[in-house]
Amino acid sequence: MPVSTSDKCATFRRLHDSGCFVIPNPWDAGSAVLLQSLGFKALASTSAGMAWTMAKPDNKVECGEVLAHLKTLTAVTDIPVNADFENGFAEDPAGVAANVTRAIETGIAGLSIEDSTGNKEAPLYDFDLAVQRIVAARAAIDKSGSGVLLTARSEGFIAGRPDLDETVRRLKAFAAAGADVLYAPGIRDEAQIRAVVQAAGGKPVNMLTLGQPVAELAKLGIRRISVGGSLARTAWGEFIRAAKEIGAEGTFDHFKQAAPSSELNRLFSAHTKR
């Protein structure tokens, strides 16, 4: 029997209470079902992975497309799904709140809002506006009564503004504004990680791993680890290598690494009978 959204939200919150867990990022229904079958306790969407399936670059999908994608992921899985909700698909706080409300209706258990503008000249929202946007997202979640977990992201390290002091300043303000989880994608060394964990003031910190193993990040106080678009890029990488081999060599050696059809059919047959 499918798990209710409220149960998923409750499970997702408990996962953040202690320890450290990996929240991998599927890019479609099939990859979501496969990851669930491997025993992962929660999943997170990837804006990049989804966009590539639509032949679009990252950050160039529409809000309606993302909402439909989220509804698909939550429908095919029985574990919590956290939404990569980019900048909330709006600049003003009221627009963020309205879109967060729409996202909650897809059945997600959590979502993230980032402070990146997409403008190379001014890649981050002004500090006060960035905080107001988190306040608006928090209010929308509270009004829904859903229990959806709010992750606030400060994007400086991947948006061309790698300023640790400013990142810490923003994360502290986001925590005070009601974020449940803090996230600064792009930080990598131990000093940066420790500074972000300290800035979180005891709230869980999500880490985009850049290759660091789980045990290493757990020792530094990271509570949740995501991989972003890396699983999607891995799949695309093998697809590209196999296709190039066929085109250039007329050979098919990469097919030796392919997943067996019987294994995939068993997985998805079992899923359709759930």
CA atoms within 13 A on the CB side of 25: 23
Helices 29-37 and 230-249, interaxial angle, to 10°?
A: 110
Alpha carbons 14 and 95: distance in angstroms, whole number: 30
CB-neighbour burial class of residue 69 (10 A; exposed 0-12, middle 13-18, buried 19+): buried
Q: What is the pLDDT of residues 20-49, one digit of tens each?
A: 999 999 999 999 999 999 999 999 999 999
Interval 120-176: pLDDT, tens: 999 999 999 999 999 999 999 999 999 999 999 999 999 999 999 999 999 999 999
This model's pTM is above 0.85:
yes
pLDDT at 274: 76
* 5-228 homologous superfamily: Phosphoenolpyruvate-binding domains (3.20.20.60)
Every domain of the chain and the residues it spans? 5-228
The per-residue pLDDT for 273 is 82
Is residue 9 predicted with pLDDT exceeding 90? yes
> In which element (H, E) is residue 152 found?
strand 149-153
Residues 6+ apart with CB under 8 A from 130: 115, 124, 154, 170, 173, 174
C-alpha 129/C-alpha 127 separation (Å) is 6
Evaluate if residue 182 carries a pLDDT over 70: yes
Report residue 269's pLDDT band, with 50, 70 and 90 as the boundaries: very high
Q: What is the pLDDT of residue 2?
A: 75
Q: Supply the pLDDT for residue 203.
A: 98
Residue 78's CB is within 10 A of a number of other CB atoms, namely 15
Task: Please check the confidence at residue 10 and state whether its pLDDT lies above 80.
Answer: yes
Is a pLDDT exceeding 70 seen at residue 1? Answer: no
